[in-house]
Copies of this chain bind each other. A is one copy, B any other.
């Protein structure tokens, strides 16, 4: 038995500024477009669904953006989150690599999502917003916004992908325990939902559909705004608190990562950990290999196209340039529900296209195996999403065993799996399969991409 080492930052070192990678990009991001005019969207257009504080962050190119004190106050309940040296895992793998992981499962809702939920609820609160709508897949984001709404006294309405609503009643119970209202999507509460149900009465929903419903409701009600849990610049910005803390904690450990690894659905937990390191590299600092890990059944970065696409199914959102499998693509029902999104954050996509981020895909069986291997030595059951990062970290540590290199590996353990035990039960019982997507479905969805000059 060897020591598990935990690096805890004093609260005084909780970051006061977020890091905005837009300040250091070698080429600027492609603008977000109004789908009707194909012109860049204006702040005024976005104000229909977002508070101004968030829109300013979305378009800012300032390197440092101040974290409001009330956000830091709520964060202090669980932040700075611990950084661990995975010594027992290293020993089990017989690797010369040093493996560190940042553990975001310590938040009240068990994942990194709470970081941005608190920030977004705050900006809505100071602008007098009464209600926020959102979508959720696996439920991590919905429960985080429900928590933040409870803290700031804002009503929360969550459109939950119907298959998750039915299969994950306990995530729903968590949202309802915090006082949020939860609706299975597609629903008959919106035109978008009714349109889907008219065509597919048995639809089990998708993130793309749930986003359409939440956006529609916000656009129609002046006292209601919409919040997104990933993909957009401001969400990734809020998550940089993860990497900024990790940098200071690695300093305590006298280490700097050769590899930074995170799982990617919309991209926010990966970006939150990786961008501060990548930014340091872009400003002339040490080079890091940043590895975005996606499920092989929804491989936007590794198999998608870098093109303008809608963020939702009903085409109510602006157009973003991103790696996408097509907004009409519905991924198969694998267990990492938080990674079932057709697109990828524009910033992550842009940096991948520039060759500054590597992407790779793993299937769910090898990820659950890695998750259990991790749990049995490190004691934490990873969320199915996070098992993708675990899988890649173990893979790289095994490579080090072969080459003898003592690399420093840092990965994001973005959440615990306490609400995902059915998936582990199914895996342990041999009931899980390696799902794959249908090539022809992606081809069809990509054929439907909007034409942008």
Question: Contact residues of A with B, CB < 8 Å?
Answer: 1, 3-6, 8, 10-11, 70, 73-74, 76-77, 84, 88, 106, 108-110, 147, 150-152, 169-170, 173-174, 176-179, 372, 375-377, 379-381, 418-419, 421-422, 424-425, 428
Contacts and interface: CB of A to CB of B under 8 A. Distances in A.
A73 B1 contact: yes
A167 to B, nearest CB: 13
Contacts of A428: 173, 176-177
Nearest to A143: B381
B150 A376 contact: yes
A173 to B, nearest CB: 4
B11 A11 contact: no
Contacts of A106: 106
A73 B4 contact: yes
A150 to B, nearest CB: 5
22 contacts: A1-B151, A3-B76, A8-B11, A77-B84, A77-B379, A88-B151, A109-B379, A110-B418, A150-B375, A151-B379, A169-B425, A170-B421, A173-B424, A174-B381, A174-B421, A176-B425, A176-B428, A177-B375, A177-B376, A177-B381, A178-B375, A419-B421
Nearest to A148: B379
A169 B421 CA distance: 9
Contact of A4 (B74, B169, B424, B425): B74
Contact of A3 (B73, B174, B379): B73
A116 to B, nearest CB: 15
B376 A152 contact: no
A168 to B, nearest CB: 10
**Nearest 5 A/B pairs, CB to CB:** A170-B421, A108-B379, A418-B418, A173-B421, A173-B425
